[in-house]
Chains A and B, each alone.
Chain A
Amino acid sequence: MAELNETIHQPVRLQIMAALVTLEAGNEVDFTYLRDLLKVTDGNLGAHLRKLEEAGYIAVNKTFVERKPHTYVSATEAGRRIFREHVAALEKILKGK
Chain B
Amino acid sequence: MNISPTEAEEALAAIQTMAQKTRKSIASGGTYITLIITGLVWLIGFLSTQFLPVGIVAYIWGGLSLTGTIAGIVLGSRMGNRVRSPSTAPMIRRVGLFWLLLAFFALAVIAVARPADGKQATLLVILFLMLGQMAMGLLFSFSSVWWTLPITALALVGYFLLPGIFYLWMAILGGGGMIALGLYIRLRW
A interface residue numbers (CB < 8 A to B): 3-6, 9, 11, 14-15, 18-19, 21-24, 26-30, 32-33, 37-38, 65, 70, 72, 87, 90-91, 93-94, 96-97
Distance to closest chain B CB from A96 (angstroms): 7
Task: List residues of chain A with CB within 8 A of the CB of B12.
Answer: 87, 90-91, 94
Task: List residues of chain B with CB within 8 A of the CB of A27.
Answer: 83-87
Q: Is the CB of A19 within 8 A of B1?
A: no
Cβ-defined partner of A97 (8 Å) among B5, B83, B87:
B5
- The interface residues of chain A, by DSSP majority, are classed as helix
Q: Given A19-B19, A93-B3: A33 and B83 within 8 A (CB)?
A: yes
B interface residue numbers (CB < 8 A to A): 1, 3-5, 8-9, 11-12, 14-15, 18-19, 21-23, 25-26, 81-87
Q: Given A22-B22, A93-B3, A97-B5: A14 and B11 within 8 A (CB)?
A: yes
Task: List residues of chain B with CB within 8 A of the CB of A91.
Answer: 8, 12
